[in-house]
Amino acid sequence: MRKLELAGRTRLLLFLLLSPLLNAREARAENLVRTGQCSIDFVENSGLSAAALQPNALVQAIADFIANTKANLAVAAHDLDHPVIVTALLDAAARGVLVRVFTDSKDSLSDVLNGSRGEEYYRALSRRIVLEQLRRGLDGAIGTADDVFLQADAPIEALEGPTKIRLRNQLPSTARDVPRHTYYSGRRLFNDTAVLARGMLKEPLQANNIPEYYAPGSSRMHHKFMVADGRSVLTGSYNFTVSGAEGSTFDRAVGAELGHRQHLLTIENVEIAGGYLRAFDSLWGGSGSASDDAARLREPVAGHFDFMSLSCGFPISVAFLPNPTAIHYVSERLSHARRSIYFEFFSFTHVELIKKIYERGVGSGVGVHGLIDARFYPLFRAQAESLGGDVLDFFEGSSTDDARIEKSRLYRLLHTKTLIVDGLEAEAVVITGSANFSETAFESNRENILFLNSQVVALAFTKSVLRFAAANRVNRETYCPAVWDRGVEESEHASAIGVSEED
């Protein structure tokens, strides 16, 4: 592979030697900033085998974050099923913390039940079981003081049967006590339906005064952040799931730790946490357990909640998506790249960014090195090729040793969404968060991205990328062959909730 084209190759080689490459196979946590007003911790999940490393540092950081919450916890979660995190949320609610979870609806239960019994079927059942467990709290009863409050972009129905699945998962035999509603969603009438999480009201109301809510659609509530007591925020690429941290329940049990590659930041700072909390409250429709259906800002308003803070000693800007113009903020940072551009992307299909990185590399001699998840590499390749053969040749080179971009060799996903500009320079900036670098993320999804103008932060992310790039060259089949039984993975959600073919 072409060496990163930084001025001063000696500096890069020294940097590589100092990077702890032998410790790449683990989840890692590191404090980057600590002042009177601000503390920033960086956690990465390598996605590589790390036998016997329990608990997972990524999961432990989140469990500690929840455990330290005193009064109010706001959770915006695209997905959520990790038992350690679920238990931490239940424990927080039981000790009197107001716990609010806003999640992505993903699908209609009726559509799931009428479909095939594939992995998505079991995933949908598992998701609803977890949400009902949260809704009931530790005492198992709805409407008591230890409940976790739920909302979503569209209504999420409870799983009303089979009875044996509910009982196997410590739920009552029926969902009779789950609040029932009659409503429209996507012009479909849901009559007397048990609803775990109310959706966002769509106006105008139907003439018969039955409320109409948005239906699950192609856009996603893709946030992955938590705000504790308006003082601390946790955000990044991790979806709070078993697969995202350790791969599967089986992987977790044997210590294989083949979870997705992730980056996570925790920031203790009132100004930054307050900015995230304002965005969450607008999504929720208020600051309490109940929401106001008439709240005007529940629909995203481009740029409305974006902010910049200097209270950590350097500029941190936060942008909330969807906002098609936000891509220009990223493009502007790339335009000022002088030495290097590193990136790790789950998905990289935004033509403007592909073109901009190419222009900086060709026109200004900026060193470029990136990794993309193998499953999404063909989409990147097609987009680069659409810009011309020279663009594709720039990224792929004439051989593997000459390439500026490589596919992840992880068995699981390279799930990070991180771009580093001039990572070893004083003007370094890191761009990271929940958003993939795609048109869908910037133009349709609910996302958050951070711009951190800090050499210290950039150095940590750069070391992370270089560690992973070195470890990625190991053949993935040497990690832990025992888990590559597709039957194990495909039945993961089924076994997790105790479902068999007879159910």
Mean pLDDT along residues 369-383: 95
CATH number attached to the domain at 25-284:
3.30.870.10
Question: What type of residue sits at position 486?
Answer: R
The confidence score (pLDDT) of residue 403 equals: 83
The confidence score (pLDDT) of residue 425 equals: 95
Q: Hey, is 293 helix, strand or coil?
A: coil
pLDDT in tens, 11-22: 444 444 344 443
41-55, 338-352, 394-408: range with highest mean pLDDT: 338-352
Q: For domain 307-475, which CATH number applies: 3.40.50.2300, 1.10.10.10, 3.30.870.10, 1.10.3720.10?
A: 3.30.870.10
The confidence score (pLDDT) of residue 12 equals: 47
Do the Cβ atoms of 447 and 438 come closer than 8 Å?
no
- Whether 486 shows a pLDDT value over 50: the answer reads no
Q: How many CB atoms lie within 10 A of CB 183?
A: 19
The confidence score (pLDDT) of residue 120 equals: 81
Instruction: Tell me the pTM.
Output: 0.90
Question: What type of residue sits at position 361?
Answer: G
- Whether 258 shows a pLDDT value over 70: the answer reads no
Query: Ramachandran region of residue 31, left (φ > 0), alpha (ψ -120 to 50) or beta?
Result: beta
Encoded tokens for 342: 């590193």
- Whether 263 shows a pLDDT value over 70: the answer reads yes
Do the Cβ atoms of 4 and 15 come closer than 8 Å?
no
Look at 31-45, 217-231, 284-298 and tell me which has the smallest mean pLDDT.
Answer: 284-298
Distance from CA of residue 265 to its chain's centroid?
12
The confidence score (pLDDT) of residue 496 equals: 61
Mean pLDDT along residues 290-299: 63
Mean pLDDT along residues 388-405: 86
Residue 404 and residue 342: Cα distance in Å, rounded? 10
247-251, 277-281, 291-295: range with highest mean pLDDT: 277-281
pLDDT: is 218 or 79 the higher one? 79
- Whether 343 shows a pLDDT value over 70: the answer reads yes
The confidence score (pLDDT) of residue 48 equals: 62
- Whether 218 shows a pLDDT value over 90: the answer reads no
Mean pLDDT along residues 65-78: 98
Look at 126-140, 252-266, 326-340 and tell me which has the smallest mean pLDDT.
Answer: 252-266
- Tokens 């740029």 sit on residue: 303
Mean pLDDT along residues 421-448: 96
Mean pLDDT along residues 393-411: 84
Do the Cβ atoms of 261 and 408 come closer than 8 Å?
yes
Residue 348 and residue 476: Cα distance in Å, rounded? 22
Mean pLDDT along residues 305-315: 97
- Whether 231 shows a pLDDT value over 70: the answer reads yes
- Tell me, what DSSP letter sits at residue 261? B
Mean pLDDT along residues 368-391: 95
Do the Cβ atoms of 492 and 248 come closer than 8 Å?
yes
Residue 244 and residue 365: Cα distance in Å, rounded? 36
Encoded tokens for 16: 């590589």
Mean pLDDT along residues 266-274: 98
Intervals of CATH 3.30.870.10 along the chain? 25-284, 307-475
- Whether 114 shows a pLDDT value over 90: the answer reads no
Q: Which of 27, 25, 101, 89 is nearest to 60 (CA)?
A: 27
Confidence of residue 251 (pLDDT cuts 50, 70, 90): low
pLDDT: is 197 or 251 the higher one? 197
Question: What average pLDDT does the chain have?
Answer: 85
Confidence of residue 475 (pLDDT cuts 50, 70, 90): very low
The confidence score (pLDDT) of residue 464 equals: 92
- Tell me, what DSSP letter sits at residue 30? E
Mean pLDDT along residues 374-398: 93
The confidence score (pLDDT) of residue 208 equals: 81
78-92, 294-308, 401-415: range with highest mean pLDDT: 78-92
- Whether 144 shows a pLDDT value over 60: the answer reads yes
The confidence score (pLDDT) of residue 495 equals: 58
